[in-house]
Amino acid sequence: MSGRAFLGVESSALGRRWIGPGPEEERLADAMAQQTGLPGALCRTLVRRGVAVPDAERFLAPALRDLLPDPLVLRDMDRAAARFLAAVRRGERIAVFADYDVDGGASAALLIVWLRRMGRQATLYIPDRIDEGYGPNVPAMQALAAAHDLIICVDCGTLSHDPIAAAQGADVIVLDHHLGAETLPPALAVVNPNRQDEDGSLAHLCAAGVVFLMLVEANRQLRAEGVQGPDLLAMLDLVALATVADVAPLIGVNRALVRQGLTVMAGRQRPGLVALADIARMDAAPNAYHLGFLLGPRVNAGGRIGQADLGARLLATDDPREAETLARRLDELNAERREIETRVRQEAMAQAEARGLDGPLVWAAGEGWHPGVVGIVAARLKEATNRPAIVIGLENGIGKGSGRSVSGVDLGAAVHRVAAEGLLLKGGGHKMAAGLTVEAARLPDAMERLGELLARQGAGSIGPQDLRLDALLMPGAATPALVEQIEAAGPFGAGAAAPRFAFADVAVTGQRRMGEQHLRFSVTDGMGARLDAVCFGAFDCPLGPLLDQGGAGRLHIAGRLEINSWGGRNRVQLRLEDAARA
């Protein structure tokens, strides 16, 4: 890359090159500050996100009514909403078949809560991850069809041709977002922005976003009949949770859904989320980090290593006592999940390192690895190597795996291609995540072929990811007021990275470990200013030893600013992501 690295950091402790704002970005940020009166640091953040000066104010206050698409732009939406409402009017028996992750659970809860407000009930069915695997299966669909008039598959079903065909006697609606094949299953309606005959303009929606749009259309049809439907804005906390936990990009309408959903969540009206927030010790207004790293993993825990429907039941319940019981159980399962994950992660990383980390695909497979944690471990391998990663648990000659990708590499399409070629028993997903089932004997060939396809997308040429920085700050400038101003450009997450700031030539003091892996410390600039900092996973990488060395000299450090609320006080904290010797 041409040009001098930011602060001269060509290779940091993590092997990354630091890239700062260029002259054009600085010019645009200065112009935005002059024309809008917005703080300079906020203007630099907006410019980095491609926001033009005339659009700045509107970007900072995204209105859902302006960004929400007409649900009918999605194929089959009119048919799905009309059939759904017909079942409600006639009092038909409705079943909701959902995936076992947060997106599936939140999607199911949206339907169950909406139906409850209309005086109707629904049967919830979530398959067991180990015994049944992902998505509809023939025995389950046959049993549901025998006892129900309508089956709604959420966050699954787009590739389930045989199971849906087996649902004789019931209509099936699919509300999904996973990549579709050339042919669709024989359902009454398949609403999916990632069908091959869609234009892709809403491909960033998660399943809960698709379900929400169907409920918007249902409410619109009810209004045309003079009937007031349930309050959909009050359900946006569920959509926000699913969007962040499913790592859907926070762009377009997703950004407005999450932002409004966080406001709804702060009102603490949903018993399940209140109980979960309390047990996770959330003592501040919810933000995207809380959804992705505190609430999401706990909702997921039931589907990963426990009872598959616990998360959906928690999100759907209106009973505070039941919510407290479910939240406590999910918290216990999440602690157990972390222990299992640690062991599998260590084994998978050792295996991947032995195989080599410089190819287009990083992968590992192990006998007895719990299928509930392979997706999390794949995400850890991806983060550590900046490569698409797949982790597979083997049992009885069959491997069940999960993969995570990096920006610009469509893993779901590649997995789907390898499945179509017969090297996988089944496989699919979307750009950033995928799942697969493979015979152990065909595993090396399948991974080699997958690597070939990913290499064509450029995965093999990816080096350590450059660290893009928004600005250079002094520790004394990192104030609560600045963080609040920056948060106005949020929420931050996938597709909308939080701004990163560099602090030059600082000394590290007051190091103290948190458990085995994490490190708290402070930095000073020699002029009296001090900034608290935390480095999670410090001792899983070179950062821990570097920061923990007393008298190691002065450092350049970089990371994201956040508010740390403790004991009724708000203090700024740097979540450190990288460091280099000054």
Answer yes or no: is 347 within a domain.
Answer: no
Residue type, 439: E
Do residue 324 and residue 277 come from a single domain? yes
**What is the bridge-based pairing of β-strands 569-581 and 518-524?**
unpaired
Last residue of a domain, one of 461, 481, 508: 461
Half-sphere exposure of 132 (CA within 13 A, CB side): 21
Locate all alpha helices (DSSP H) within 293-410, ordered by sequence. Answer: 296-305, 310-316, 320-355, 374-385
CATH number for the domain harbouring residue 223:
3.90.1640.30
Question: Rounded to 5 degrees, what are φ and ψ at 492?
Answer: -105, 145
> Going residue by residue through the chain (582 aa), what tens digit of pLDDT does each one get?
456 899 999 999 988 899 998 899 999 999 999 999 988 888 988 998 889 999 998 899 889 999 999 999 999 999 999 999 999 999 999 999 999 999 999 999 999 999 999 999 999 999 998 889 889 999 999 999 999 999 999 999 999 999 999 999 999 999 999 989 899 999 999 999 999 999 999 999 999 999 999 999 999 999 999 999 999 999 999 999 999 999 899 999 999 999 999 999 999 999 999 999 999 999 888 999 999 999 999 999 998 888 899 999 999 999 999 999 999 999 999 999 999 999 999 999 999 999 998 899 999 999 999 989 999 999 999 988 889 999 999 999 999 999 999 888 999 999 999 999 999 999 988 888 899 999 999 999 999 999 999 999 988 776 667 888 998 999 999 999 889 889 889 899 888 888 999 999 999 999 999 988 899 999 998 888 999 999 998 988 889 999 987 546 789 999 999 988 766 678 899 999 999 998
Query: What separation, in Å, do the N-terminal and C-terminal C-alpha atoms of the chain show?
Result: 21
Do residue 201 and residue 158 come from a single domain? yes
CB 506 within 8 A of CB 524: yes
Answer yes or no: is 390 within a domain.
Answer: yes
> Cβ of 466: how many Cβ atoms within 10 Å?
14
The parent domain of residue 91 ranges over: 67-331
User: 450: which residues sit within 8 A by CB, 6+ positions away?
Assistant: 361, 390, 414, 415, 418
At which residue do the structure tokens 């950091």 appear? 9
Which pLDDT belongs to residue 567?
A: 63
Answer yes or no: is 345 within a domain.
Answer: no
Do residue 209 and residue 157 come from a single domain? yes
How open is the CA angle 329-334-337, to the nearest 5 degrees?
130
CA 527 from chain center: how many Å?
Answer: 40
CATH number for the domain harbouring residue 444:
3.10.310.30
Locate all alpha helices (DSSP H) within 118-165, ordered by sequence. Answer: 138-147, 161-165
State how many domains the chain has: 4
Do residue 309 and residue 440 come from a single domain? no
Answer yes or no: is 549 within a domain.
Answer: yes
Answer yes or no: is 340 within a domain.
Answer: no
Do residue 433 and residue 567 come from a single domain? no
Which pLDDT belongs to residue 1?
A: 43
Answer yes or no: is 346 within a domain.
Answer: no
Rg (CA), the chain: 24
Do residue 201 and residue 287 come from a single domain? yes
Do residue 225 and residue 304 come from a single domain? yes
| Residue among 143, 156, 170, 264 nearest 210 (CA) | 156
CATH number for the domain harbouring residue 479:
2.40.50.460
Which pLDDT belongs to residue 156?
A: 96
Do residue 306 and residue 321 come from a single domain? yes
At which residue do the structure tokens 């998360």 appear? 311
Last residue of a domain, one of 297, 315, 331: 331
Last residue of a domain, one of 415, 437, 461: 461
Three-state helix/strand/coil letters over 414-460: HHHHHHHCCCCCEEEEECCEEEEEEEHHHHHHHHHHHHHHHHHCCHH
Answer yes or no: is 175 within a domain.
Answer: yes
Do residue 84 and residue 220 come from a single domain? yes
Q: Give 26's DSSP letter.
A: H
Do residue 395 and residue 278 come from a single domain? no
Collapsed DSSP state (helix, strand, coil) of residue 322 = helix
Answer yes or no: is 317 within a domain.
Answer: yes
Do residue 480 and residue 453 come from a single domain? no
| Residue among 67, 63, 62, 80 nearest 215 (CA) | 80
| Residue among 439, 478, 445 nearest 563 (CA) | 478
Q: Which sign does the torsion angle of CA 46, 48, 54, 55 carry?
A: negative
Do residue 474 and residue 567 come from a single domain? yes
pTM of the model: 0.88
Question: What is the rounded CA–CA span in Å between residue 488 and residue 491?
Answer: 8
Measured N-to-C along each axis, helices 102-117 and 296-305 cross at an angle, to the nearest 10 degrees, of 100
User: 6: which residues sit within 8 A by CB, 6+ positions away?
Assistant: 18, 19, 20, 469, 472, 502
